[in-house]
Chain A
Amino acid sequence: AQTVTQSQPEMSVQEAETVTLSCTYDTSESDYYLFWYKQPPSRQMILVIRQEAYKQQNATENRFSVNFQKAAKSFSLKISDSQLGDAAMYFCAYRSGEAGNKLTFGGGTRVLVKP
């Protein structure tokens, strides 16, 4: 079974600075997707960014980018120019490309943004 590990329970960043959240996963599959979801205090799960494993290029969405290291099974999220609205819980998630639509989540990292 796949597992996803987020080793940082909480990260703090100064407004306008950069923070990087780590995520590692364990799988024997070669075809899969990786995601970062944001959960603000409203509890809504918001998709931040996705990465297809077959793509070598790292995904980017505005101030959010990932560092996808397939061999190392690492998928970190970088938030640049942090804003107060970035304060939230962030979840890394894995989905098999072959077996169903299930997402396997990491335990989450809480991001605090200091003004």
Chain B
Amino acid sequence: EAQVTQNPRYLITVTGKKLTVTCSQNMNHEYMSWYRQDPGLGLRQIYYSMNVEVTDKGDVPEGYKVSRKEKRNFPLILESPSPNQTSLYFCASTLRGRNTGELFFGEGSRLTVL
């Protein structure tokens, strides 16, 4: 089954404790991206990757890191989480370039930073 898998789905952590949210897709997509969802703001892009070893900042990259060492994986790293990073996070992927434009989303990761 074609899917984007995120882990963990739920996480409560404390300020400053490094954490990683993993993302894996099995559709051989070149493009992968991370979004955060906050009430009234919709989803905003954090980082994206056009292919292996190619990453770039989105609209709200502060406090986050990413890496793309393999095509299927695109982890999101919070080196020193702060309460303002409490949010719902989505990983998404698609074929690069001109196509139908549809993004395929993971099931979301609810992160709470105390």
Chain A contacts to B: CB under 8 angstroms: 4, 6, 9, 33, 35, 42-45, 47, 50, 91, 93, 95, 97, 100-103, 105-108
Q: Most chain-A CB neighbours within 10 Å: which of B40, B42, B88? A: B42
Query: Nearest chain A CB to B83's CB is how many angstroms away?
Result: 21
Given contacts A43-B88, A43-B108, A107-B42, contact A101 B48 (CB under 8 A): yes
Is chain B's binding surface mostly helix, strand, loop or mixed? strand
A108 to B38, CA, bound (A): 10
Closest to A9 in B: B40
Query: Nearest chain B CB to A54's CB is how many angstroms away?
Result: 12
Say which size band chain B's interface belongs to: 20 to 34
Across the interface, do B40 and A47 meet the contact criterion of CB distance under 8 Å?
no
- Residues on B with beta carbons closer than 8 Å to the beta carbon of A33: 100-101
Query: Nearest chain B CB to A95's CB is how many angstroms away?
Result: 5
From the candidates B33, B40, B105, B110, name the one contacting A101 in the complex (CB within 8 A).
B33
- Residues on A with beta carbons closer than 8 Å to the beta carbon of B42: 4, 6, 91, 105-108
**Is B61 part of the binding interface, using a Cβ–Cβ cutoff of 8 Å?**
no
Across the interface, do B33 and A102 meet the contact criterion of CB distance under 8 Å?
yes
Q: List 18 A-B contacts (CB under 8 A).
A: A4-B42, A33-B101, A35-B101, A45-B90, A47-B102, A50-B100, A50-B102, A91-B42, A91-B43, A93-B43, A100-B48, A101-B31, A101-B33, A101-B97, A102-B48, A103-B43, A105-B43, A107-B40
Closest to B103 in A: A103
